[in-house]
Amino acid sequence: MGRGRVQLKRIENKINRQVTFSKRRSGLLKKANEISVLCDAEVALIVFSTKGKLFQYSSDPCMERILERYERYSYAERQLVTNDQAPNENWVLEHAKLKARMEVLQRNQRNFMGEELDSLTLKQLQNLEQQLDSALKHIRSRKNQVLHESISELQKKDKALQEHNNLLAKKIKEKEKAVAQEEQRGLQNSVDMTTSVLVTQPLESLNTGGSSQARCDEGSPNQTRANTILPSWMLRPTNE
């Protein structure tokens, strides 16, 4: 006897509903992977459980690419069909589209932070790991570049400071040399003045001695003449 066709309706038993959801979800993800591999099709699958938990599958490493393609296509289709729609309805569609995209971005951000990874398949985890590795490579490359630029800048500053210090040292040496030369010139002037004074004093002494002797010489002939004029008997010794 053949198996009867199962009637599709909501399973009332909570446990049975959860078990069925888990089995059907796994089968659905498997079928999505199979059609992607066998037919080389781009597949994006998004499933939310009754508790709001997200389950997804993407044939592309980045699901956003497929979603953006879907949004462009569906938006073009809607534009063809709803050209006569009111502007408010277009705003509602645009809001729904942006909201869905924001949810995807927030979910990806949580995945990059290591959160909500239970719903990801092995392939999705591998894709996430590849994206993180690529991001780390870019971060390390940029960090090394910044470090190299910082080191080069510091080396330039160090070279400029050394040149400035050398210039200051040269100016100090020139200043010290000028001060030493000035002191040497002052000392030489003092020595010259002292020598001049010492040479002038002996000359004056010699001039004074010559004049006294000349005066003495001038007085001697008069005394001789006086002694010659007076008679000898008038000349008495001074002791008497």
CB 116 within 8 A of CB 128: no
The arithmetic mean of pLDDT across residues 91-100, rounded, is: 80
Does residue 19 have a pLDDT over 60?
yes
Whole-structure pTM value:
0.36
Residue 7, CA atoms < 13 Å, CB-side half-sphere: 3
pLDDT per residue as tens digits for the range 162-180: 999 999 999 999 999 889 8
Question: Which pLDDT band, with edges at 50, 70 and 90, does 106 fall under?
Answer: confident
* The amino acid at 19: V
Confidence of residue 224 (pLDDT cuts 50, 70, 90): very low
* Model pLDDT for residues 67-82, shown as the tens digit of each residue: 888 887 776 666 665 5
- Tally the residues of the chain: 240
